[in-house]
Structure 1
Amino acid sequence: MNAHPNEDDDVIMITVRRPTEEEMESYRFDDELALSGVRVEDADFSSRKIDNVSIGNGSTLVRCTFRDARIAGGCLGTGVRVSTYVECDFDGSSIRNVQSGRARFVSCSFRDVEIKDSFFLETAFVECVFSGTVEDSVFDADTWSRERKWFRRKKEPEVHEYRGNDFSGVRFRNVAFRGGVDLRLQTFPENGEHFVVRDALGVLDEAEAEVRSWPQGEHRSNAEVLLLTLRETAERRQKDLFVERSRVTNGLPKDLADRIERILRRH
């Protein structure tokens, strides 16, 4: 593995190389998977129980399969350099307590997956397909390092790319898209359980004015907390908001929830 300073970034860059056969055998432990600065093609990690995954430092995985794997924690993009997954298969897998780190997924398949308690920060998804259940997780396109000058790279994008992803087969439960994810470029389920608030900041102004007209009490407080949470997300580069309908209806009587929902859906 060759390391050298990068003139633009003043950080150590690691040249990606192919692992040896002996190294590939060492990566195949059932309880841990560690890849650093390597290029791997057509590797089979399917049906493995991986208690901790650590893939990063500019690794590239091409057509690798994690089908039916059980990943219980770890990071899919450790280090400064972005790790890339191309046409990888995660179908049927369980992914829990995972931080994606600095990773890019291109044309990967996540069909019939269970994703829970996972945070996809500093991550890009391009033309990936998802189905199954995604719960208590976050997809965030923001470049978190933009305010950390010691870490930021000069050529870093304004936001990480989310484009052409198909989430139409997903059951979402307490999931957020934030930090500049362009929802117009994704496909979402049309089942009445979710909706998109277009041009959210203006719509939230209208919804907040409606709530201020309600009498003081528990219902008004619940609605104000909901709208404050949505505003905080919108103000972090998120022009349109993905909203689970249950977040609007919980804690409010039907007539008041309907008023809020009509405003949020109006545009």
Structure 2
Amino acid sequence: MDTIYSRINEGRLVVDGGEFEDQELKSPRIDELVIANGAQLANVRFHDVRIKHGSFGAGRAAVTYTGCQFENCRLAITTVGRANFINCSFAGSYIKGWFALSAEFLQCSFSSELKHVVFDARPSPQVKLDLRRTKNRYENNDFTASSFVDVSFRGGIELKREFLPKSPGGFFLPEARAAYSSMADKVRTLRDPWAVDLLAFLEVRLDACLEGQEQDYVSPADIGRTTKSADGQQVLQNLFTEVAEQLS
């Protein structure tokens, strides 16, 4: 029987197509992971896996993960690739540096730490052509037990259809463009040196709104990272609290 584990060779896991079901992969370290060319993984359990780089969806055909579990993993993959995740779970894991520009996530659950991650609903022209896709789908994903640090949603992901982190001090903005414009106008009136940091943060978020991301979520960690000034952080926290109350 062909197994995922048998594809590991000198720290590299390469899967080029094929179907894999009801298997378990437990390995302390994989330097490079490449799952490619329409491979189908169903109910595959990744446990305590450390991945340094690679792609969940290499090649032209999308790779599909259905009911897969990623438990206590360290997933430092810069290119998620053409990967579709359906009813998958990411528990107790550390997810860093993901650029999900051609991926889809449907009914997945995350109880992990996410850091420097981008989720984007806009497929590239080539992905549109190859996969006959007009939008990367994000539907009913559960992030409630996750922590976010520098996590961005872009390209029109409907966050009302997602379950966002419950961290105290986080803010969901259903009308993000208006919220960021209002906050930026108020920050421009400030003369404190840290106001430059606040304005830069708000303008970056506003740019994402102008590119189609109408709803946004800001984590408490993101507010804390905006400026080193405790006064500046408190002002930004107050602005978010004020605008969130106005939109509620």
Q: Please give the TM-score of this superposition, normalised by the length of structure 2.
A: 0.87
2:113 alignment partner in structure 1? 133
Note the 1:1-267 alignment, pairs <5 A. Answer: 21=1, 26-29=6-9, 31-143=11-123, 145-146=124-125, 152-153=128-129, 156-215=132-191, 217-249=192-224, 250-251=226-227, 253=231, 256-265=235-244, 266-267=246-247
**1:73 corresponds to which letter in structure 2?**
H
Distance 1:199 1:133 in 2: 26
| Unpaired runs of at least 5, structure 2 | none
Superposed displacement of residue 23, structure 1? 7.8
**Rg larger for:** 1
Q: Secondary structure at the match of 1:167?
A: coil
Residues 25-72 of structure 1: CA deviation (Å, up to 9, x unaligned): 751336111111212212321235211011111111111111211111
Q: Secondary structure at the match of 1:122?
A: coil
Conserved in 2, the CA contact under 8 Å of 1:130 and 1:170? yes
Q: Indicate the structure with greater helix content.
A: 2
Conserved in 1, the CA contact under 8 Å of 2:171 and 2:219? yes
Conserved in 2, the CA contact under 8 Å of 1:203 and 1:263? no
Conserved in 1, the CA contact under 8 Å of 2:61 and 2:131? no
Residues 233-264 of structure 1: CA deviation (Å, up to 9, x unaligned): 21222111111234335425256324422344
Superposed displacement of residue 154, structure 1? 7.1
**1:174 corresponds to which letter in structure 2?**
D
Distance 2:162 2:114 in 1: 16
May I ask how many residue pairs the two structures share in their alignment?
A: 242
| Unpaired runs of at least 5, structure 1 | 1-20
CA 1:173–1:28: 2 relative to 1, 3 Å: same
Distance 2:25 2:237 in 1: 48
Q: Please give the TM-score of this superposition, normalised by the length of structure 1.
A: 0.82
Distance 2:107 2:214 in 1: 21
> Which deviates further from its counterpart, 161-170 or 38-47?
38-47
> Which deviates further from its counterpart, 42-51 or 116-125?
42-51
Distance 1:257 1:85 in 2: 39
Distance 2:140 2:235 in 1: 36
Distance 1:152 1:102 in 2: 11
Superposed CA RMSD in Å reads 2.3
